């Protein structure tokens, strides 16, 4: 009886053999890999080539090797440094505020609460909306004569603000819009993190009489940290690409005071039709995102190693 392998053992064996034959996976992976090669990797390599090229559009598209001239121009271009600075500023301020507010809201709602599901639905709503529509919503709100914001300020006795027309104010208007749009993301990710924490540990600490702040500082937050890091990484990587709302609300203005890297690359590449230089600005954004992604992956790994 023992010589006859059971059905389960046969199938285990079969699965094992099939698992080891990796070439069988090829037909399953081929469509995905070829789509990515055609529509992401190839265009990416083409853009890399563009950054080292001179492009002429006279009589059809012609590419000539142009050496480092686009990159040299980039380093000397004040407008590039301006859009890089704007992008970094928006990411730093918006992501920090979104994290703090998202964490606060998640902590508030992570308890038995009448109407909790109702509030949760309202809180995540802005995240799903089309950025273009969000841009217009806020353009209306910031409008200096027919918008509600300045009227409300006036009623409480404050002077009107040039939300989108003042140089040093406009970028904060963009940041407020981003906070409205993306705090929901931080909120939902951190709430999911809080809800997956082991309840026994928290309960044990509460029975021991740990105060609310101590509980958060020494128990909840350390356990939540991996989720928090993941949320900040994911949000930052997206925030670097900010363009849609700026396109609608300020168009990069006044002057170039709210121009982000993506918007700058778009203007140069498609409005000035300087494809090679537009590609170079876009590539600098890619390098920035890559460096941030790699360093954040390393930070995460180091943190995990310490933890283990």
Give, as ranges, the residues between 147 and 206 that touch other proteins (CB under 8 A). Answer: 147-148, 151, 180, 184, 188-189, 191-193, 195-196
Closest approach of other proteins to the CB of residue 207, in Å: 18
Q: Which of 1, 2, 27, 168 binds other proteins (CB under 8 A)?
A: 27
Say whether residue 25 binds other proteins (CB under 8 A).
yes
The site that binds other proteins (CB under 8 A) totals a number of residues, namely 102
Contacts of 84 (CB under 8 A, 6+ apart): 261, 284, 288
Please provide the distance, in angstroms rounded to a whole number, between the alpha carbons at the two ends of the chain.
46
Q: What are the residues facing 56 on neighbouring strands?
A: 62
Closest approach of other proteins to the CB of residue 45, in Å: 8
Say whether residue 105 binds other proteins (CB under 8 A).
yes
The DSSP code sequence of 32-96 is HHHHHIIIIIHHHHHHHHHHTEEEE-TTS-EEEE-TTHHHHHHHH-HHHHHHHHHHHHHHHHHHH
Say whether residue 81 binds other proteins (CB under 8 A).
no
Q: Residue 106: in which H helix or E strand, if any?
A: helix 78-109
- Token reading at 63: 């590419």
User: Taking the alpha carbons of 131, 184, 265, 82 in that order, is the dihedral positive or negative?
Assistant: positive
- Near other proteins in 109-148, by CB under 8 A: 109, 113, 117, 119-134, 136-138, 140-141, 145-148
Residue 60 or residue 157: which is nearer to other proteins going by CB? Answer: 60
Task: Please choose, from the candidates 42, 67, 43, 41, the residue with its C-alpha nearest in 3D space to the C-alpha of residue 53.
Answer: 67
- Near other proteins in 269-288, by CB under 8 A: 269-270, 275, 278-279, 282-283, 285-286
- Token reading at 71: 């990159």
- Which residue stretch of 32-40, 71-79, 89-97, 157-165 sits at the interface with other proteins (rule: CB under 8 A)? 32-40
Residue 69 or residue 104: which is nearer to other proteins going by CB? Answer: 104
Residue 104 or residue 254: which is nearer to other proteins going by CB? Answer: 104
Residue 168 or residue 188: which is nearer to other proteins going by CB? Answer: 188
Contacts of 196 (CB under 8 A, 6+ apart): none
**197 C-beta neighbours (distance < 10 Å), count:** 15
- Which residue stretch of 75-83, 97-105, 159-167, 203-211 sits at the interface with other proteins (rule: CB under 8 A)? 97-105
Q: Which of 5, 39, 100, 153 binds other proteins (CB under 8 A)?
A: 39
Residue 171 or residue 263: which is nearer to other proteins going by CB? Answer: 263
Say whether residue 56 binds other proteins (CB under 8 A).
no
- Near other proteins in 226-245, by CB under 8 A: 226-227, 230, 237, 240-241, 243-244
**80 C-beta neighbours (distance < 10 Å), count:** 21
Contacts of 189 (CB under 8 A, 6+ apart): 102, 227, 230, 231, 234
Task: Please choose, from the candidates 194, 161, 174, the residue with its C-alpha nearest in 3D space to the C-alpha of residue 239.
Answer: 174
Q: Which of 35, 72, 92, 153 binds other proteins (CB under 8 A)?
A: 35
Round the CA-based radius of gyration of the chain to a whole number and report it. Answer: 26
Residue 99 or residue 240: which is nearer to other proteins going by CB? Answer: 240
Say whether residue 73 binds other proteins (CB under 8 A).
no
- Which residue stretch of 19-27, 69-77, 164-172, 202-210 sits at the interface with other proteins (rule: CB under 8 A)? 19-27
């Amino acid at each position: 009886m023992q010589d006859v392998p059971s059905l389960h053992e046969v199938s285990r064996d079969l699965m094992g053999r099939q698992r080891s034959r990796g070439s069988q996976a090829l037909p399953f992976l081929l469509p995905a890999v070829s789509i990515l090669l055609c529509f992401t990797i190839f265009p990416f390599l083409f853009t890399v080539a563009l950054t080292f090229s001179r492009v002429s559009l006279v009589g059809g598209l012609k590419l000539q090797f142009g050496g480092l001239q686009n990159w040299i121009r980039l380093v000397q271009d004040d407008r590039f440094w301006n859009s890089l600075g704007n992008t970094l500023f928006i990411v730093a301020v918006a992501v920090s505020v979104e994290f703090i507010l998202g964490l606060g809201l998640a902590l508030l709602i992570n308890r038995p609460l009448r109407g909790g599901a109702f509030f949760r639905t309202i809180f995540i709503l802005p995240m799903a909306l089309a950025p273009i529509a969000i841009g217009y919503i806020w353009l209306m709100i910031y409008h200096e004569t027919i918008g509600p914001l300045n009227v409300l300020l006036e009623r409480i006795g404050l002077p009107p603000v040039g939300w989108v027309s003042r140089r040093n104010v406009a970028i904060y208007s963009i940041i407020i819009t981003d906070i409205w749009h993306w705090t929901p993301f931080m909120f939902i990710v951190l709430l999911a993190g809080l809800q997956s924490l082991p309840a026994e540990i928290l309960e044990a600490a509460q029975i021991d009489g740990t105060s609310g702040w101590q509980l958060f500082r020494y128990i909840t937050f350390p356990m939540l940290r991996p989720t928090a890091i993941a949320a900040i990484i994911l949000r930052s990587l997206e925030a670097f690409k900010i363009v849609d709302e700026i396109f609608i609300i300020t168009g990069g203005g006044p002057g170039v005071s709210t121009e982000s890297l993506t918007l700058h690359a778009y203007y140069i590449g498609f409005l000035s039709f300087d494809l090679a230089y537009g590609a170079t600005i876009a590539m600098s954004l890619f390098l920035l995102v890559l460096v941030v992604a790699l360093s954040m992956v390393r930070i995460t790994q180091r943190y995990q190693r310490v933890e283990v």
